[in-house]
Amino acid sequence: DTGVSQDPRHKITKRGQNVTFRCDPISEHNRLYWYRQTLGQGPEFLTYFQNEAQLEKSRLLSDRFSAERPKGSFSTLEIQRTEQGDSAMYLCASSRLTGSESQYFGPGTRLTVL
Amino acid sequence: AQKVTQAQTEISVVEKEDVTLDCVYETRDTTYYLFWYKQPPSGELVFLIRRNSFDEQNEISGRYSWNFQKSTSSFNFTITASQVVDSAVYFCALSSNTGKLIFGQGTTLQVKP
């Protein structure tokens, strides 16, 4: 049983560049969540999908951020025109269909914007 | 609004001591779920336990135990006979039916040999 995987694990980019991260959830999980974690803080919710539908987006998710889950399997999170404030760990989690189910997290993608 | 407070920022204990991590939550929902996650230095969040709002039974799993009290909106986590491998950041989290997790700030536990 493979867990949640994320790629890349680390990304260093220059301010103004676009970056894209990928998350592969646990295969039978319908829900997929994105969180962002900055140093010394707990993860903060960004958005989530139920199958291919994006059901909620946080106010943290500015217009420069977009997420997709095209066939209800893997998901991508794109940040356009990166800013230094985007530097953080981006975490993906998945769960079964209902909200009561436990979320299992991937290893995260650490983004550094220079 | 939902909120989770972990008032203890850092705790340091010596191996074999018992330690309790506090978690206080706020929610207006009658159905909600509480979680504890462990984040070791490697960075990956590891699920430890889920509790729903209708189940106030305490739970024990090996050296870990959890005390859920709705009357005080608390969901505390105790590690008995701590070990160096328990050193990590521990997060308490709250969710409702959407599944979106609201995390506390985390408590950094250092267990010294």
- Rounded CA separation B89/B86 (Å): 9
- Rounded CA separation A15/A21 (Å): 16
Query: Is A33's Cβ below 8 Å from some Cβ in B?
Result: yes
Structure-block tokens of residue A64 = 């420069």
Query: Nearest 5°: phi and psi at A85?
Result: -70, -10
Contact A43 B52 (CB under 8 A): no
The residue of chain A with its CA nearest to that of B40 is: A107
Judge whether A90 and A34 are in contact, CB under 8 Å. Answer: yes
Q: Is the pLDDT of residue B92 over 80?
A: yes
Structure-block tokens of residue B44 = 């990956």
User: What pLDDT sits at residue A2?
Assistant: 77
Residues B39-67: pLDDT tens digits? 998 889 999 999 989 888 888 889 999 99
Query: Is A35's Cβ below 8 Å from some Cβ in B?
Result: yes
Judge whether A19 and A78 are in contact, CB under 8 Å. Answer: yes
Residues A13-36: pLDDT tens digits? 999 999 999 999 998 899 999 999
Give me the residue from A99, A105, A107 closest to B99, CB to CB: A99
First-last CA distance in chain A? 37
User: What pLDDT sits at residue A28?
Assistant: 86
Inter-CA distances, A11 with A99, B44, B72, B83, Å: 31, 17, 43, 34
DSSP strand pairing (A104-105 vs A88-95): antiparallel
DSSP A41: S
Distance from CA of A10 to the nearest CA of B (A): 12
- Percentage of residues in chain A having pLDDT higher than 70: 96
For the beta carbon of residue B73, count every other beta carbon within 10 angstroms: 17
Inter-CA distances, B90 with B1, B16, B59, B98, Å: 22, 18, 17, 23
Judge whether B8 and B24 are in contact, CB under 8 Å. Answer: no
Q: Which residues pair with A32 in a beta bridge?
A: A49, A94
Judge whether B5 and B92 are in contact, CB under 8 Å. Answer: no
The pLDDT confidence band at residue B16, using thresholds 50, 70 and 90, is: very high
